[in-house]
Every structure is written in structure tokens, then in C-alpha cells.
Chains A and B, each alone.
Chain A
Amino acid sequence: MQEHFTAMRQSVLDGAPETAGRLAREALAQRIAPLEVIDRGFVPGMAEVGEQYAQHKMFLPDMLASAEAMKAAMSVLEPELKRLGTERPTAGTVVLGTTKGDIHEIGKTLVGTLLVANGFNVHDLGVDVPSEQFAAKVRELGADIVGISALLTTTMRGQKTVIEALEREGLRSSVKVIVGGAPVTKHWAEEIGADGYAKDAVNAVSLVKGLLEHRFALNRG
């Protein structure tokens, strides 16, 4: 059994979606519980990717490939979880988007990919998103976190507009707001009343985990 889990972990580290998917299918065929496959096989792979990234042994393209491998495994395992009625507890629901007038998507897409790989339910609204749309999606999903991205000095003010829209809709107290993007600083985040700022996608994952720590039991081991 341990050999299987080691191979799963390695498939995530290698960023090999085909292998990860195959190993997930094989595990189900051998009647290993899907939750165990996730928590003992694939999640440790993602955890090690994070560690290696922090040590500058792995880089963003490696991490994206690992996230793809994680996704491939989950697409096999999730239907089985549902069938068994043992749905994997989500780490939280996150709504992401880039502010109105801004068409840059790489930053928030990277954040979204890593959040999904870390067990979050992510809804990506895309780019050039009006404030009202952020608020509407937060209401619809009962989101825990809304992440607002802006790359331009001219569009980062839109982050404040989203916070104002959440306030107008009476949603501000129920959702944590995080902001990011090249021109964004901690100072700016504080000034506009956001709950958090991260300088990059990896720190964004830690930030989201930290903000939700008191609400969710993240460690499913």
C-alpha cells in the first residue's frame, strides 16, 4: 500500500497528470478508500512541492505542472467520493477576479490554481470584472474569501470599489477580502480595508489558510 502512496506523491512532484490519473484509477480498482488516496497519496505530494518551492528547488512552472497532476487525480477520485457520499471537505470557497478595466489574468489564475491544488473550491470570474459581479458571486456561493487582482496602477483603485460593493450589499462581514497584483502593497491593502495582501501566489495560499484557520479544520489527516 505504501508503495502506491509513494508513487502518487511522486507523480505530483513530477508534474505527471497521466501517471497521477492512472494511479488514482488503479487505487480505486484495488478498493482503497478515495479519501485515503487523496490524503496519504496526493496531498503529501503537493505539500512537498510547496516546501521545495520555498527552498528554490522547484519553480512556478514545476508547481503548475504539479497542480495539473493533482487535478488529474482529483477528477478520478471526486466522482467516487460523491458516489460514496463521503465528499471531501472543502478547505473553503474562494471567488477570484481581476478588477474592472484590467485584462491581466496570470496572477489571479496562478493563485486559483494553487488554491485548487490545496483543496479550496475556487470560482474564477476572469478579467475586467465589475464590482457588482464580485458581490453577486460572493452572495450566490456564500464565499469565504474574495480575491481581487489588479496589475495596473490605474485599476487597483477598483479593489476598493469591490469592497464598497460588498459593503453596500451587506456582505462585507461575511467574507474575507484579499488583494494582490504588481502595484499592490500591504499599505494599500490596509488603506482600502482589505483583510489581507500577499506578494505572490504561494503566499496567497498561506494567507487564505491563515484567514480561514478559525473557521475550518484544514488538516484532514
Chain B
Amino acid sequence: MRPKLELLDRALLDRIVDEAFTLLETLGTKVGSPEACELLASAGARVEDGVAHLPKDLLQPALESAPHEFFLYDRQGNPAVHYGSDDVHFDPGSSCLNILDPDTQQPRPAISGDLVRMVQITEMLPQYAAQSTAMVCNDVPSEMGDWYRLLLVLWYSNKPIVTGAFSVATLRTMIELLVADSGSRQALREKPRAVFDVCPSPPLNWSEFASQNMIELARSGVPAEIVSMPLAGATAPVTLAGAIVQHAAESLAGIAIHQLANPGAPAVWGGAPAIFDMSTGNTPMGAIETAMLDLGCAQVGKSLGLPTHGYLVASDARQIDAQAGMESGGSALLGALAGINMISGAGMLDFLACHSIEKLVIDAEAIASAQRLLDGIEPRAEKLALDSFAQTGLHGDFLKLKETRLLFRKEQHFPSPVIDRGADSNVPNIISRAHQRANELLESYQRPEISAATQEALLAIALRETKGLRFGHLPGIELTVPTSQFDCHPEQAAFAQRRT
């Protein structure tokens, strides 16, 4: 039996969905994109002053056309992440501006080299089924902040990617990069490698960017992950149930826009809800109530037949300490038990303001434990214990038994040396152990094989985009293809040539 945790009983679940439908019909939702307003209006919504009132008759078909499951694929075209049923995957938290410096353990602005290292380590850790565009690189102009993260991930990884755009224009650049990576628009549509987070603004506001983003993604066939973020008590009702209603309403509106733009396009019922701490005004991602919101929201999504996502495994601690371990480990277990398809947030500290490679490595151990938990307690033979006792009698020498040797690998998960189980009482602390493990992973990392044509296509897009920004190089990219073919700014060509 696979263990499973649900926080809402059927009656409460039904009330939540009912109130979400009522909210969208009566109060409505702000929708900023004129095209989205037109789509909704033509499907029967009443749209007045940028507020769309969505009747249940409009929402129901959207829920029916949205796929119940889909896959993200790796570079080789293998299905690698299954969004659907109770399958659970983890990826690092995303879009962080700061990193805990690996040497000083103090926060500082993240740069391209940090993202490259995090991508390489994520690539090496099987606990992470997907990469994320984890950091905003402070060493490139902000105008290229979103697509540049994706370029670096594509450059250094085979895994699927959880990402997101900062504007409609750069969303197009990012889709172009994915098309270049997949080979064609059709190939990307058939085997998408990335999912894009799209965030409505609480309460009930699909901004022009967010709503247009949903339309563009639906039409490109690249999956959209709706990340509604109610803050219970501040931008959402204070009760957890009330905040889950708001999450459901915002997500339903997103699904409606998305499915009207392209029925059948893949979408995820995601979220990054949190409570609003009434003492500090912060939004604690490590609070138990935040995890409860994630679980409640995901359960609503599952009841509607949609793939799910949540934001867990992050901690509010500023340093890697017992609080970080407690919050991240606890929420990794809860997310896994809830069967959330994609759980983002690993590696993050300080209310999502700071990333840490060492924490990502430690979180991988918590995730491995959660994954072991999901395997549950299974009978491995006809007799559970009697056959073993028949051999040992009351001597109890189980270590020598054939079954022991046959089955211990199935029964026990073996953590990396990050987890101290040894006999040596003088082991370095967990940060040092994680630091060492990160270095070992980096040493054994090998860059994926990417065809020259694909690299060329990716770089051509990057150099075209940087041209207008008078930015002369691509930090973090090691060029391995001749750059003479690029029609680019002489300064960039010279730089690229130097790096070749």
C-alpha cells in the first residue's frame, strides 16, 4: 500500500469547489489581456471594466478539455516527468536573486557561474527529476534575465525544465530557445521539455502579462503551470479553507483562458500559497500552514482531474541550520504523501530570497527519504517473518540469511555521506559535508552531448537578443562550436572566438 495523505474530506472539498465557482460567477476575476477578455466573452462570460464573470457553464468544458496527464521529456526524447495520477517529482526552487556563497555561507547576488553549478549538481542528483531556471543571473542585463537562465539550463542539462517568463516578448524568445533545442515547433509540441509557471496576482487578478502568457503557451503547446499564490490573511481570506477557495477560483479562471485559446493544451494546477505571518508580515514558506495550503490546493486540483504542483521543501531560515532541516524535511514528506506531481522549492532559504547549493544537496537526502516512504511497507515473500525464523530459530542471526542479502537493498535507502551515520565522532558539520559532496558531484559531471547544429541555433538566438542590449558576452557559456557562422556584433564574435 502506498501511503497517502489528504487534508480535506469530501464535503469540504465540494464546498471549496462550489464557492470557487460562485466567486468567479458573482465577483469575477480581473483579466488584463484584451485577447483573453474576448475569448472569455465569446464563450459566454460577462466582461465589464476588465472584470470577467465566469459562469460554471464556461468553466466546466475547460475542465473537460484540459488533459488529465502529460509528460515532460528529456533531451533524448524519453518521458522523464509524468504530470498526472499521484506520481511525485521534485525540482529546485526558481528565479532566486541571491545565493548563499559556498565558501562564506553568506548571501550575495547570484551570477551565471552559480546557476551553471546548480544546474550541474541538479543534473547529477537523481532525486531531482527536473531542472528549474533556479537563479536570475545578476551579471547579465535584466532585460535578458529570464531567457538567459533557460539558455544556461539547456546548455548544461538533459533533464526536463520548470521555468517561467518575465514578459510576453521574452516568453517568445524562451519558446524559440526550446524550439531550437527540440529541433522544430512540432517536435516541441509533441515532446515538450519544459513547463512554464504563470502567476495570477492575488486576489483574482489575471494581469495582462499573465493572461496573455497563458494564451501564448496554450497555442505553442508548451505546458503551462498555473501558480496561484494566495497569502492567507493578507491577499486572501485568513482561513486556510478560504484561501484554498481563492486558489481554486484563480486557477479555474486560468484553465478557462488557456483551454479557450487551445482546447486540450496541457496545464498544471500549481501553486505557491502561503500564510501571511501576522507578527512579521512575512510569508513563511516553511510554516506548517503553508504546507497545509499546498496540500489542500493540490487535493482540489486532483479532484478536478488535473496534474498538480506545489511549492515546498523551502525554508525560511537564513542559514543552513536545524530550522532549515526541519522545515524542508517536513514539507518534502508532506508533499510526497499528498502525491503532488511536481514539488518545487528545494535549495531555497530566507522566504525564497536565497538559494543554496549546499542546501540543495541536503534537501536531496530529505527527498530520497520521502521517496522511500512512498514505496511503503510491502510483503516481499509469501511469509513475512516465519521463513526467516524457521532458519534462525531463536538465535536471531538474521545478518547471515540469504533473504537478508537479497532484500536489504529493497528495504533500506542508503543516504550519501551528507547524512552522518558513521562511527567517526569527528566528522565535519553538515554544511561541510554537503559542500564536499557538491564538489564531488561537480567533478564527476559531464556536459550532455548537444549537436553542433542545436548549439549553433541556441547561440544564434542568444547573440541576436544580446545585440540590441550592447552586451558583449554570454557568461557561463563555454563555446564549443565555431562562431564564424554567426552574424553577430564584432565585439561578441571576438569574445566568442576568444572563448572557443
Residues on A close to B: CB < 8 A?
56, 59-61, 103-104, 106-107, 110, 153-154, 156-157, 182-183, 185, 187, 199-201
User: Which residues of chain A have C-beta atoms less than 8 A from B95's C-beta?
Assistant: 153-154
In the complex the two chains form, is A200's CB within 8 Å of B282's CB?
yes
In the complex the two chains form, is A103's CB within 8 Å of B205's CB?
yes
**Does B98 reach chain A (CB closer than 8 Å)?**
yes
**Does B145 reach chain A (CB closer than 8 Å)?**
yes
Rounded to whole angstroms, the CA-CA distance of A185 and B351 in the bound complex is 12
Nearest CB in chain B: distance from A58 CB, A = 9
In the complex the two chains form, is A154's CB within 8 Å of B145's CB?
yes
User: Which residues of chain A have C-beta atoms less than 8 A from B145's C-beta?
Assistant: 154
B281 in complex: contacting residue of A104, A110, A183, CB < 8 Å? A110
**Does B107 reach chain A (CB closer than 8 Å)?**
yes
Excluding A154-B142, A183-B97, 7 further A-B contacts by CB distance (< 8 Å) are A59-B279, A60-B276, A154-B145, A182-B282, A187-B108, A200-B280, A200-B281
**Does B283 reach chain A (CB closer than 8 Å)?**
yes
Contact with A along B108-148 (1 / 0, CB 8 A): 10000000000000000000000000001000001001100
Could you say which of B96, B108, B145, B278 has the most chain A C-beta atoms within 10 Å of its C-beta?
B278
Within 8 A of A (CB), among B201-252: 201, 205, 207, 231, 233-235
Q: A103-B205, A153-B97, A182-B353 are in contact. Are A60 and B278 (CB under 8 A)?
A: yes
In the complex the two chains form, is B96's CB within 8 Å of A153's CB?
yes
Question: What 10 A-B pairs come out closest when comparing CB atoms?
Answer: A59-B278, A153-B97, A200-B281, A60-B278, A154-B166, A106-B234, A157-B142, A183-B353, A200-B280, A103-B201
User: Which residues of chain B have C-beta atoms less than 8 A from A200's C-beta?
Assistant: 280-282
Offer 26 A-B interface pairs, CB within 8 angstroms, sorted by A.
A59-B278, A59-B279, A60-B276, A60-B281, A61-B278, A103-B205, A104-B201, A106-B235, A153-B96, A153-B136, A154-B136, A154-B146, A154-B166, A156-B97, A157-B142, A182-B282, A182-B283, A182-B353, A183-B353, A185-B98, A185-B353, A187-B107, A187-B108, A200-B280, A200-B281, A201-B281
User: Which residues of chain A have C-beta atoms less than 8 A from B97's C-beta?
Assistant: 153, 156, 183
In the complex the two chains form, is A60's CB within 8 Å of B279's CB?
yes
> Which bracket fits the contact residues of B?
20 to 34
Contact with A along B300-330 (1 / 0, CB 8 A): 0000000000000000000000000000000
Within 8 A of A (CB), among B335-364: 351-353
Within 8 A of A (CB), among B138-179: 142, 145-146, 166
User: Which residues of chain A have C-beta atoms less than 8 A from B96's C-beta?
Assistant: 153
Nearest CB in chain B: distance from A111 CB, A = 10
Could you say which of B145, B280, B351 has the most chain A C-beta atoms within 10 Å of its C-beta?
B280
User: Which residues of chain A have C-beta atoms less than 8 A from B136's C-beta?
Assistant: 153-154
Rounded to whole angstroms, the CA-CA distance of A187 and B95 in the bound complex is 19
Rounded to whole angstroms, the CA-CA distance of A187 and B367 in the bound complex is 32
Q: Name the residue of chain B whose CB is nearest to the CB of A107.
A: B281
> Does more than half of chain A's interface fall in helix, strand or loop, or is it mixed?
loop
Rounded to whole angstroms, the CA-CA distance of A60 and B278 in the bound complex is 5
User: Which residues of chain B have C-beta atoms less than 8 A from A157's C-beta?
Assistant: 142
User: Which residues of chain B have C-beta atoms less than 8 A from A107's C-beta?
Assistant: 281
Q: A182-B351, A187-B107 are in contact. Are A61 and B281 (CB under 8 A)?
A: no
Q: Name the residue of chain A whose CB is nearest to the CB of B280.
A: A200
Q: A103-B205, A154-B166, A182-B351 are in contact. Are A61 and B283 (CB under 8 A)?
A: no
Could you say which of B96, B145, B279, B352 has the most chain A C-beta atoms within 10 Å of its C-beta?
B279
In the complex the two chains form, is B353's CB within 8 Å of A61's CB?
no
User: Which residues of chain B have C-beta atoms less than 8 A from A61's C-beta?
Assistant: 233, 278
Within 8 A of A (CB), among B262-277: 276
User: Which residues of chain B have C-beta atoms less than 8 A from A183's C-beta?
Assistant: 97, 353
Rounded to whole angstroms, the CA-CA distance of A46 and B363 in the bound complex is 44
User: Which residues of chain B have C-beta atoms less than 8 A from A201's C-beta?
Assistant: 281
Rounded to whole angstroms, the CA-CA distance of A187 and B106 in the bound complex is 11
Q: Name the residue of chain B whose CB is nearest to the CB of A200.
A: B281
User: Which residues of chain B have C-beta atoms less than 8 A from A153's C-beta?
Assistant: 95-97, 136
User: Which residues of chain A have C-beta atoms less than 8 A from B207's C-beta?
Assistant: 103
Rounded to whole angstroms, the CA-CA distance of A155 and B176 in the bound complex is 24
Nearest CB in chain A: distance from B142 CB, A = 5
User: Which residues of chain B have C-beta atoms less than 8 A from A182's C-beta?
Assistant: 282-283, 351-353
Rounded to whole angstroms, the CA-CA distance of A24 and B205 in the bound complex is 40
User: Which residues of chain A have C-beta atoms less than 8 A from B280's C-beta?
Assistant: 199-200
Could you say which of A107, A185, A187 has the most chain B C-beta atoms within 10 Å of its C-beta?
A185
Q: Name the residue of chain A whose CB is nearest to the CB of B95.
A: A153
Nearest CB in chain A: distance from B132 CB, A = 14
Contact with A along B182-196 (1 / 0, CB 8 A): 000000000000000
User: Which residues of chain B have C-beta atoms less than 8 A from A156's C-beta?
Assistant: 97
In the complex the two chains form, is A56's CB within 8 Å of B279's CB?
yes
Nearest CB in chain B: distance from A126 CB, A = 14
Could you say which of A56, A153, A154, A187 has the most chain B C-beta atoms within 10 Å of its C-beta?
A153
Rounded to whole angstroms, the CA-CA distance of A183 and B283 in the bound complex is 11
User: Which residues of chain B have C-beta atoms less than 8 A from A199's C-beta?
Assistant: 280
